[in-house]
Amino acid sequence: MIVMWMASSINFMLINLYLKYVPGGIYLNFSIAGVAEILANLAAGILFAKFGPRLTFIVGYIISLAGGILLIF
């Protein structure tokens, strides 16, 4: 669980660090990232309450994997 926490924290910090290099306005990018973070926290809380930590981590990493693959292409 510590390894999962470290990986998630480092990825979260790197996304915020490199967000200024994403094309588009910096204020719009950070606003959209903030709204997405709020929605993700709400969704994770609901998943965690219904399914527990193990399935929540699995679903979260599958969503992250899909997003990463889409960013590559």
- Convert the pLDDT of each residue in 39-63 to its tens digit: 989 988 998 999 898 998 898 889 8
* Model confidence pLDDT, tens digit, residues 24-40: 888 888 899 899 989 98
Assigned token pair, 58: 């699995």
CB-CB contact of 29 with 22 (8 Å)? yes
| CA pair distance 39, 20, nearest whole angstrom | 21
pTM to 2 decimals?
0.61
Give Cα 21 to chain centroid, integer Å: 17
Q: How high is the pLDDT of residue 66?
A: 94
